[in-house]
Amino acid sequence: MRISSACIYSLNIPFVESFRHSLHERNSSDSIVVKVATECGISGYGEGVPRSYVTGETRKTAVEHVRSELLPRILGAELEGIDPCCAFEYMHGLLPDSDAETGGAVVWNASRCAVELAVIDCLFRIRNASVAAILTPVSQNITYSAVIGANSIARTEKIAHNCKAAGFKYVKMKVSGDEDSERIAMVRKILGPSVSIRLDANGAFSLETARQFMASAEEFDIECIEQPVPRGNPIELATLRSSSPIPIMADESVVTILDAKELIQKKAVDYFNLRISKCGGLYRTLAIADLARFAGIGIQLGCQVGETAILSAAGRHLAAHLADLHFVEGSYGTHLLTEDIAEENIVFGAGGNAPILTGPGLGVTVREELVDKYAENIITVR
Ligand SMILES: [Mg+2]
């Protein structure tokens, strides 16, 4: 059963409200969704979220890369005789590692992720089996974190009260260098001492301002701070870490396997934030998780702002599979999107809790009419 056609959708799903961090303010989802279909009509869906400030990809360049470079490698691929247990290795053979290994200006990880997930979803649907067959769950329930954007003090206060009422045990706050201390103090007071609070600066600080900020934030019992300084200088992160009262997490700094190895070698951080789209799909994310585990680095499984149920489902499987996760983000679905594209609603419930997924493929049924509805552009390749 061969892959006979593929579609690339450029989505634009409006947000319920805008989401802001120090690098960007966003009002709508801008994923690319890839659908692959076999000659027998079985299809699979994948998603990637290109970010110019993370992998160098834009939605336009990612669509073109998928069309011209990645789809020619998978169209015509025979899926029938592939052992699902070897699905990741099979995909790795179809989509070689060259771009991630060179660590060039553009790493096509969101593009690769969309294609990898689509083929894996299809491969498991052919057998009416769940991806959980290879991502064996070690947990039956995932506990997600709430995330508070870099909002005004009044807005932060309102969301913090909502987090408290919803019973979240983990909360992450975006910080931007603007009114941060007042916001953090207020959130800690509202949430009380038992809730874990993390910060994410998205590279907003210089080495010196990061030092000052972290010294001032220490009193609020902060679990860790994500990407205090911009990507590009692991020695700066290592310097900061050597005197930091707060553990440090790499996010924008850990995109490729080479990035991970360099951060480990320089003892630059305490945690990695791994995101499936940022890291180039499930296979590469697992590879970086293995490196982290071996080096004693903690792992957060993060997400992309505005991702749909496709990436959220992939994240759910990975979160259930990784035994030693410290924090999990994602599955925000219609908390952020005005409408999601799957039949199943997989948004987390009270306290951020959500069950594992057991349905065929990635475990969500994409509604094609909704993908069509929100697609600004559709490219079909045969
Ligand atoms: Mg981050």
3-129+367-381 and 141-355: identical CATH topology: no
Q: 3-class DSSP state for residue 304?
A: coil
pLDDT band for position 99 (50/70/90)? Answer: low
Dist. CA 359 → ligand 1 center (Å): 30
pLDDT band for position 18 (50/70/90)? Answer: confident
Q: Under CATH, which number does the domain 3-129+367-381 receive?
A: 3.30.390.10
- For residue 44 the two structure tokens come to 């699979």
pLDDT for the residue 98? 63
pLDDT band for position 25 (50/70/90)? Answer: confident
Q: Tell whether the model's pLDDT for residue 20 goes beyond 60.
A: yes
CA distance 248 to 227: 7
pLDDT for the residue 258? 93
For domain 141-355, give the CATH superfamily.
Enolase-like C-terminal domain (3.20.20.120)
DSSP for 36-87?
EEETTS-EEEEEE---TTTTS--HHHHHHHIIIIIHHHHTT-B-TT--GGGH
Which residues have CB under 8 Å from 209's CB, separation 6+? Answer: 177
Dist. CA 43 → ligand 1 center (Å): 32
In the chain, pLDDT over 70 holds for what percent of residues?
98
pLDDT band for position 90 (50/70/90)? Answer: very high
Dist. CA 157 → ligand 1 center (Å): 21
Q: For the segment 206-258, what is each residue's pLDDT rounded down to a tens digit?
A: 999 999 999 999 999 999 999 999 999 899 999 999 999 999 999 999 999 99
- Window from 79-83, 269-273, 316-320 with minimum mean pLDDT: 79-83
pLDDT mean across residues, the chain: 95
Dist. CA 20 → ligand 1 center (Å): 12
**Residue 311 CB-density burial (10 A; 0-12 exposed, 13-18 middle, 19+ buried):** buried
Dist. CA 174 → ligand 1 center (Å): 8
Strands annotated E in 205-277? 222-226, 248-250, 271-274
Dist. CA 93 → ligand 1 center (Å): 30
Q: What is the pTM of this model?
A: 0.96
Domain spans of the chain?
3-129+367-381, 141-355
Dist. CA 374 → ligand 1 center (Å): 26
CA distance 210 to 380: 47
Dist. CA 105 → ligand 1 center (Å): 20
Angle between helices 180-191 and 153-166 (to 10 degrees): 20
Dist. CA 33 → ligand 1 center (Å): 22
CA nearest 134: which of 313, 318, 354? 318
CA distance 272 to 270: 7
